[in-house]
Amino acid sequence: QVQLVESGGGLVKPGGSLRLSCSASGLSITDYYMTWIRRAPGKGLEWLAYINSGGRTIYYADSVRGRFIISRDNAKNSLYLQMNSLRDEDTAVYYCARDDYLLSGASAIWGQGTMVTVSS
């Protein structure tokens, strides 16, 4: 079955850290840009970060730059998001997505999402 599966979400206190994982099965992420996107409760989608296939090209949204770190391990077919200095406003469902270069980078395959709740 072709899928991306996120894990690592949960409840964390403000200022805390969490590491999300995105594991691919039935498909390879090796040659693809990968992206993290979130949706906060009652809000819309927010693009957070992407990483190129080799892991050298990375870009973050202003809202997470300096606090979140995107990384990947192609040997494990996995993507990660290290989230530090978490704030209440980081509460959201976090999705990983594979960006397809044949579709001009469109996020064509998405995971089911993992919920992160930041609360004291």
Partner 1 sequence: DVVMTQTPLSLSVSPGQPASISCKSSQSLLHRDGKTYLYWYVQKPGQSPQLLFYDLSSRFSGVPDRFSGSGSVTDFTLKISRVEAEDVGVYYCMQRLHLPFTFGPGTKVEIK
Three-class secondary structure of residue 10 per DSSP:
strand
CA dist 7 and 59 (Å) reads 22
Binding flags for partner 1, 71-110, as an x/- string (CB under 8 A): ------------------------x-------xxxxxx-x
**Cβ neighbours of residue 65 closer than 8 Å, sequence gap 6 or more:** none
Q: Is 46 in the site for partner 1 (CB under 8 A)?
A: yes
Instruction: Check residue 113 for interaction with partner 1 (CB under 8 A).
Output: yes
Residue 102 tokens read as: 């044949």
Q: Compute how many residues bind partner 1; rule: CB under 8 A.
A: 22
Distance CA 78, CA 95 (A): 13
61 is an interface residue for partner 1 by CB under 8 A: yes
Give the torsion through C-alpha atoms of 60, 61, 62, 63, to 10 deg.
-110
Smallest distance, partner 1 to C-beta of residue 3, A? 10
Among 26, 41, 44, 66, binds partner 1 (CB under 8 A): 44
Residue 10 to residue 3: CA distance in whole angstroms? 21
Among 60, 68, 80, 94, binds partner 1 (CB under 8 A): 60
In the complex, the residues that contact partner 1 under the rule CB under 8 A are 37, 39, 44-47, 50, 59-62, 95, 103-108, 110-113
